[in-house]
Amino acid sequence: MFGHIVLCNSYRNPALLAKMTATLQVLSNGRYILGIGAGWKIDEYIAYGYPFPPPRVRIGQLEEAVQIIRRMWTEESVSFRGKYYHIDNAICSPKPKPVPLIMIGGGGEKLML
């Protein structure tokens, strides 16, 4: 398998991340796994110049991001209007084959059980 541990969702637009990871899936001959999480390390957010929203917002953003990423990998053109993300007729090419696995990183009983 090929991939990273867990990317912080807040640091990349999910449509762009879908395109980047689709390319990695092609380059790795179908061995890529997307590890993604809502983010937790406040000092990284501050160092990179990103706002650090409350947990429920970060979880909501992650939920929308995963929806966008999956659709980008499987649909010709994707439009999405969510609470946190909006995309219009976004295209992901090449399509990853097979569609990569997604590993969600997180912690806490309420969310992970």
Sorted by sequence, the CB contacts under 8 Å of residue 33 that are 6+ apart come out as 1, 2, 3, 100, 101, 102, 103
pTM of this prediction?
0.91
What is d(CA 50, CA 93) in angstroms, rounded to the nearest whole number? 28
> 101 with 33: CB under 8 angstroms?
yes
Q: Is 11 helix (H, G, I), strand (E, B) or coil?
A: helix
At 61-110, the pLDDT tens digits run: 999 999 999 999 999 999 999 999 999 999 999 999 999 999 999 877 66
For residue 113, the model assigns a pLDDT of 44
pLDDT at residue 60, rounded to an integer = 96
Is the separation of the CB atoms in 30 and 80 below 8 Å? no
